[in-house]
Structure 1
């Protein structure tokens, strides 16, 4: 094992909200698939030793071809995902050997080296970490009849992003326990929290967006153009 991190990059979803026949992670930004932009950030990171990409069964071959084409030497394996994100992450974890692991959405290409480093350092010191940003809007709790039942204090609410960073052994334990108990979580942190592990929040950036809709894709193209001009 090393003291650096492995990364599970999850790119097995179909992304129906994008409204395209092609899966969202393979749509092009500046003539390059979104997933490749994401992988390249981790490829350059001094924190990262190895990467596992999780994709759809039918997409494994083309992703392996892209790994060679774009010379992504840290990608040690491309594996087929499961029936949902939780199972896909578990499959990815089984191909890593590092002591620490990050889980990242394949459609968040604007993660930065600085935030990767902060997430890793915080996890090592605190036990686990997630990247997040403070919620900007007022949030309402609404019942099945769409009547407001409460207004949480906005100062305590954060929108969770990725990467999320954990000791690999603990994340494996959390996933295996969830599988045994039939529990489905909305993110990996939720599974680890069930073990009683404290998870620290690292403040991220609102530009670390998850590309899920056509509007997101337009904004991503704008951000990539600004990035090329050195403005973000």
Structure 2
């Protein structure tokens, strides 16, 4: 971590030691590569919004205390998912102009709104920056429970952990003229997926430092890496598709049918 950074608040060594953790879902984006007027997280699969299916995958996980859902300020009330979907309270927060800003806004809830309250206040968010948070893409409805459980087991303070997928294709390095200059050893490469899990204080500091520096924050782990930390990777099943393009809806539907989540 940078020498100028303020000391981080204490946090449990792991989510299991803490006994509880929070889910943060950035859902303020529009997903323009999908086309259409409806953001991809609100498109329907089997009559259910993608976001609702995504949240339902976390229901019943041990230690889940609540959800921080980051959406656009203009979200229609009828698109707000019910807490019954996941079985814990859902706290809605306004998003920002980028994913990093939306995640920062969600994390700031722990520091600014509920930190320092007495037990029993603030809907249970009382430990502020020492809490553990799992950040997951709203448009990843196919994540498997077993992978979530393994991520919970792997996360350690302060580095955290993330789901990944091994790179299976041969990767080439090329120059500015489009000529191959070498073949990359794919054994050391991973696709970064979500969820990604970190202590709130670590991740909030990482994102805020990255934003001030003008760094490109492509995922939460990339921000944490800038602090000199090394998140642990947990290779996940190939089911963990992110819906990005129109054809991904059909693929997600097929995966969810195979998993027994959809029956249409």
TM over 0.5: yes
What SS is found at the alignment partner of 2:215?
A: coil
Alignment of 1:155 with 2:173, yes or no, is no
RMSD (Å), alpha carbons: 2.1
Matches within 5 A, 1:1-232: 2-59=18-75, 61-64=77-80, 66-67=81-82, 70-96=84-110, 97=125, 99-124=131-156, 127-228=159-260
The alpha-carbon deviation at position 71 of structure 1 amounts to 4.8
- Kindly tell me the number of residue pairs found equivalent between the two proteins: 228
TM-score by length of 2: 0.79
Richer in helix (by share): 1
Gap change, CA 1:110 and 1:47, over 3 Å in 2: farther
Larger radius of gyration: 2
Gap change, CA 1:225 and 1:150, over 3 Å in 2: same
Gap change, CA 1:58 and 1:154, over 3 Å in 2: same
**What CA distance in whole angstroms lies between the structure 1 residues aligned with 2:159 and 2:88?**
25
The alpha-carbon deviation at position 72 of structure 1 amounts to 4.1
**What CA distance in whole angstroms lies between the structure 2 residues aligned with 1:179 and 1:118?**
30
Contact kept? 2:144, 2:237, Cα under 8 Å: no
Unaligned 5+ runs, structure 1:
none
**Residues 162-203 of structure 1, C-alpha deviations (whole Å, 9 max, x = no match):** 000111110111112112222231111011111111211001
**What CA distance in whole angstroms lies between the structure 2 residues aligned with 1:169 and 1:155?**
32
Contact kept? 1:140, 1:149, Cα under 8 Å: yes
Unaligned 5+ runs, structure 2:
1-10, 12-17, 111-124
